[in-house]
Amino acid sequence: MAYSVTLNGPGPWGFRLQGGKDFNMPLTISRITPGSKAAQSQMNQGDLVVAIDGVNTDSMTHLEAQNKIKSASHNLSLTLQKSKRPVPVSTTAPRIDSPRAVIPHQKHGLHGAFQPQCPEGLCPVYPQTH
């Protein structure tokens, strides 16, 4: 189901696109910047861009879509279609409640200082201070 969003200008609008006719992919909202004009609207990552300022995007290349968005100085009107797929959960940041990873080739010395694990005789020798 399509819906319309009007973002009050000028830009930046706070979203990124992916796809276009030149990529054989529909134009899609790939990222929304937190706190941006786009984030304050009902836009969601993954939504399809059906029209930009009333112009259908079916035959637009990625660059044509970018230029159409850049040319909007006062307001930007988008017709969007909700994504049928759920937005993937980021796996780049560790969960707060997850235990700290232990990497076998690392070991910790006194006070948690990192010390590399090396074959005997190949590690640098540091003078001990007391």
The residue range of the domain holding 19 is: 2-81
Residue 62: the pLDDT is: 98
Domain count, the chain: 1
Residue 11: the pLDDT is: 87
Q: Match 């190949």 to its residue by tokens.
A: 122
Residue 123: the pLDDT is: 61
Would residue 110 count as lying in a domain? no
Would residue 72 count as lying in a domain? yes
Classify 94 as helix, strand or coil: coil
Pairing of strands 75-81, 2-8: antiparallel
Would residue 65 count as lying in a domain? yes
Tell if the pTM clears 0.75, that is, is over it: no
All residue ranges of the chain with pLDDT < 70 are 85-130
CA dihedral 20, 24, 25, 31 (to 10 degrees): -50
Would residue 118 count as lying in a domain? no
- Specify whether the CB–CB gap between 49 and 80 falls below 8 A: yes
CATH number for the domain spanning 35: value is 2.30.42.10
Q: Which backbone phi and psi does 6 adopt, to 5 degrees?
A: -120, 120
Would residue 6 count as lying in a domain? yes
CA 1 vs CA 84, 97, 118: distances in Å: 10, 38, 60
Would residue 55 count as lying in a domain? yes
- Specify whether the CB–CB gap between 72 and 8 falls below 8 A: no
- Segment 63-93, tens digit of pLDDT: 999 999 999 988 999 999 998 765 554 445 5
How far from chain centre, in Å, is Cα 4?
A: 23
Tokens of 122: 């190949």
